[in-house]
Amino acid sequence: MRLTAKATGLGVATVALIATVSPATAAASAPTTPAAGQRLSCTETHLEWSRNTLWRTVSGTLDGAGHPGAVTVTRTRTGAVDVSTINPTLIPGFASGYYERTHGWSAWLLGTQYNGFDTYYLLMPSTVPGGAFDAELLVQFGPNGNQGSNDFTYSCSAN
């Protein structure tokens, strides 16, 4: 998990979920792909690295191509919804294409909070395996993340 922050002045945040697949999971999951309408369920890991008031879960659906839909980011402790969207928007070239080139991840815009200051992204493998995979939720602060960011590691399942 990467935890980065370079907050200056008033905080404006952007959040992204970055998904990775471990070699063992990839080998076990490679032959399968999610069926249309499968549930996406992500639980934050490495909770010791963030305050419990920031712990979140991510839930939603996956279509037959593994694209997320009806995604909701919820605070674990209070049940408060940070952001929810029926149709996440694919953002080609997110972060100048770094995640696509380096990790094979697609970036999905989930929405904003606080009058557009906090932006939430879900970064997932371009091809999501059926079963389990790892992910991250990235929160950027300020316009275009210029005031810092936090990312949180998740363990996800498609079932």
pLDDT in tens, 106-137: 899 999 887 778 899 998 887 776 788 878 88
Q: Does residue 93 carry a pLDDT above 70?
A: yes
> How far apart are the two ends of the chain, measured CA to CA in Å?
24
* Mean pLDDT (the chain, rounded): 77
Q: What is the pLDDT of residue 99?
A: 81
**Domain annotation covers residue 8:** no
Q: What is the pLDDT of residue 23?
A: 42
Report the predicted TM-score, pTM, of the whole model to 2 decimal places. Answer: 0.74
**Domain annotation covers residue 12:** no
d(CA 133, CA 68): 14
The radius of gyration of the chain's CA atoms, rounded to the nearest angstrom, is 15
**Domain annotation covers residue 11:** no
- How many structural domains compose the chain? 1
Give me the amino acid identity at 70. A
Task: Read off the pLDDT of each residue in 32-47 and give the average, rounded to a whole number.
Answer: 79
Q: What is the pLDDT of residue 19?
A: 45
Tens digits of residue pLDDT in 72-83: 999 999 999 999
Binned at pLDDT 50, 70 and 90, residue 33 comes out as low
Q: Does residue 14 carry a pLDDT above 80?
A: no
**Domain annotation covers residue 25:** no
**Domain annotation covers residue 51:** yes
Residue 84 vs residue 35, higher pLDDT: 84
Asked if 121 contacts 15 with a C-beta cutoff of 8 angstroms, the reply is yes
**Domain annotation covers residue 103:** yes
Domain containing 100 equals 33-158
**Domain annotation covers residue 150:** yes
Helix (H) or strand (E) holding 27: helix 23-29
**Domain annotation covers residue 10:** no
